């Protein structure tokens, strides 16, 4: 099949087999309704977890005129003294709410930096995001562990489902239903979770070996000599840690697609992702950057679409609602539904007293807008999984010369939409 695929398109062979345009299918694949629903399920479960945990987990903020202007995580990322800030701050918000606000700001700034071609700005936002994660585990350890555990389980199931659905659609042109995708993610959760965790465990195991050698330095008089004599034993695992770390950073986004595309177990997923990164490092980087730039453009388009939907709906409602609000505002609708903007889909709330019905209407409208934000976040997750799955298929084609339509099909899956034929079995 591989040789037939290679020779079936003379134009592709003449041009060196340009495969990268296939990455542009990610937008169409990501917009499939069942994928958006899976993404929305993931966003909803993680958000619900965060809201419930925020009942107990609070972090200090600075508020000015009813608006949050600085947060504890901003202080940490800036390298300032967090304890002093926490003692001086008088207001508190939930840790999840703070993480959402901080992560959203970093994400949007990275997107705009990518569209501007400012890679330094993109790298700076990624670095700030990593520092934000460090802040969570350093200053809210128990919260961070619990939230990370729940979020990881949710993402392994839903992310695995999205990658499987994208793999089937890209390879076969067939669509997998919502329950079939989730069933695959649930069945393969150990492989999806095991691939990145096994890589991290390998690095820590090698680090423990170096740590044990380092303990010898505590022996009086002879310790320093022993450690220096045995330094070569420390350098070997140090090299292996570096190799695994580079492979993990460059290939972690390929592990889920490996399980989804080839039905790999966790160690086979590690082997495939690492081998593709080291065999085609520049091609991997090119595909990744192209997927990121295209994804940024798609995100801006979808966000603009959602902004216009909200703005147009509100504008026509404004034509009909002419009664003043209970707080004396001439625009009753404006008092309960602030005008949306591209940078702030809900808009800036108008200060003023509302009666019970207006307050209830304001919360309901807020819920509708937040549903739109959830759909936007679901699209981002769907696009990410779809693009990385396509990227994996293209790298597999380049490195192993495996046909793009060569897809693993489970033998038994009670909810599967795609079953193997007798010949394939």
- For 41, residues 6+ apart whose C-beta sits below 8 A from its C-beta are 158
Predicted local confidence at residue 385, as pLDDT:
94
Burial of 177 (0-12, 13-18, 19+ CB in 10 A): middle
List per-block mean pLDDT (blocks of 10 residues) for the chain, which spans 425 residues.
Answer: 44 52 90 93 94 89 78 89 83 90 89 84 89 91 93 93 93 87 91 89 90 83 78 86 89 90 87 89 90 92 93 85 60 76 76 69 86 93 94 90 84 47 38
DSSP state of 62: E
Predicted local confidence at residue 308, as pLDDT:
93
Q: What is the pLDDT of residues 15-38, one digit of tens each?
A: 345 677 888 999 999 999 999 999
279: its two tokens? 């065999």
Predicted local confidence at residue 62, as pLDDT:
85
- Cα–Cα distances (Å) from 342 to 99, 292, 311, 313, in that order, read 21, 21, 10, 15
In 3D space, the residue among 282, 303, 284 whose CA is nearest the CA of residue 115 turns out to be: 303
Predicted local confidence at residue 421, as pLDDT:
38
70, containing H or E segment: strand 67-71
Predicted local confidence at residue 113, as pLDDT:
87
Planar angle of CA 156, 159, 163, nearest 5 degrees: 125
Predicted local confidence at residue 298, as pLDDT:
94
Q: Give how far the C-alpha of residue 273 lies from the chain's centroid of Cα atoms, to the nearest Å.
A: 18
Helix axes 33-53, 356-400, angle to 10 degrees: 120
Predicted local confidence at residue 147, as pLDDT:
93
This prediction's pTM = 0.84
Q: What is the pLDDT of residues 339-373, one digit of tens each?
A: 888 888 877 665 555 677 777 888 888 888 889 99
Query: Cα separation of 139 and 249, whole Å?
Result: 25
Predicted local confidence at residue 379, as pLDDT:
95
Q: CA dihedral in degrees (299, 303, 305, 306; nearest 10)?
A: 140
Show contacts of 129-138: CB within 8 Å, 24+ apart.
Answer: 129/103, 131/76, 131/77, 132/73, 132/76, 132/77, 132/99, 132/102, 132/103, 132/106, 134/76, 135/72, 135/73, 135/76, 135/77, 135/82, 136/73, 136/95, 136/99, 138/76
Predicted local confidence at residue 11, as pLDDT:
44
Predicted local confidence at residue 225, as pLDDT:
80
């Amino acid at each position: 099949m591989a040789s037939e695929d290679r020779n079936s398109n003379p134009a592709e062979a003449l041009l060196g087999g340009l495969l990268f345009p296939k990455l542009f299918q990610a937008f169409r694949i990501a917009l499939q309704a069942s994928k958006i629903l899976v993404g929305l399920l993931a966003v909803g479960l993680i958000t619900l977890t965060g809201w419930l945990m925020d009942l107990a987990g609070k972090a200090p903020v600075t508020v000015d005129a009813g608006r949050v202007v600085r947060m504890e995580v901003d202080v940490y990322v800036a390298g300032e003294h967090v304890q002093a800030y926490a003692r001086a701050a008088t207001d508190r918000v939930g840790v999840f709410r703070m993480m959402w606000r901080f992560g959203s700001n970093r994400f949007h700034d990275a997107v705009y930096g990518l569209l501007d071609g400012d890679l330094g700005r993109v790298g700076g936002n990624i670095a700030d995001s990593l520092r934000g994660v460090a802040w969570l585990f350093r200053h809210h350890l128990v919260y961070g562990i619990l939230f990370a555990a729940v979020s990881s389980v949710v993402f392994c199931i839903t992310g695995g489902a999205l990658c499987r659905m994208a793999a089937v659609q890209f390879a076969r042109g067939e669509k997998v239903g919502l329950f079939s995708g989730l069933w695959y993610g649930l069945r393969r959760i150990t492989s999806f979770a095991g691939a990145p965790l096994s890589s991290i465990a390998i690095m820590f195991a090698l680090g423990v070996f170096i740590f044990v050698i380092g303990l010898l330095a505590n022996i009086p008089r002879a310790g320093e000599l022993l450690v220096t004599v045995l330094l070569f034993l420390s350098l070997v695992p140090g090299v292996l840690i570096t190799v695994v770390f580079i492979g993990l950073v460059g290939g972690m986004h390929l592990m889920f697609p490996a399980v989804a595309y080839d039905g790999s177990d966790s160690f086979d997923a590690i082997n495939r992702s690492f081998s593709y990164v080291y065999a085609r490092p520049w091609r991997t980087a090119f595909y990744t950057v192209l997927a990121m730039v295209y994804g940024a453009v798609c995100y801006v388009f979808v966000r603009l679409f959602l902004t216009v939907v909200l703005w147009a709906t509100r504008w026509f409602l404004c034509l009909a609602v002419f009664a003043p609000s209970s707080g004396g505002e001439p625009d009753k609708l404006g008092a309960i539904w602030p005008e949306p903007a591209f940078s702030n889909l809900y808009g800036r709330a108008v200060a003023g007293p509302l009666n019970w019905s207006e307050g209830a209407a304001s919360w309901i409208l807020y819920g509708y807008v937040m549903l739109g934000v959830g759909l936007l976040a679901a699209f981002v997750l769907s696009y990410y999984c779809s693009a990385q799955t396509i990227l994996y298929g293209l790298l597999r084609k380049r490195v192993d010369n495996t046909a793009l339509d060569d897809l693993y099909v489970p033998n038994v899956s009670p909810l599967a939409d795609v079953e193997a034929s007798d010949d394939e079995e």
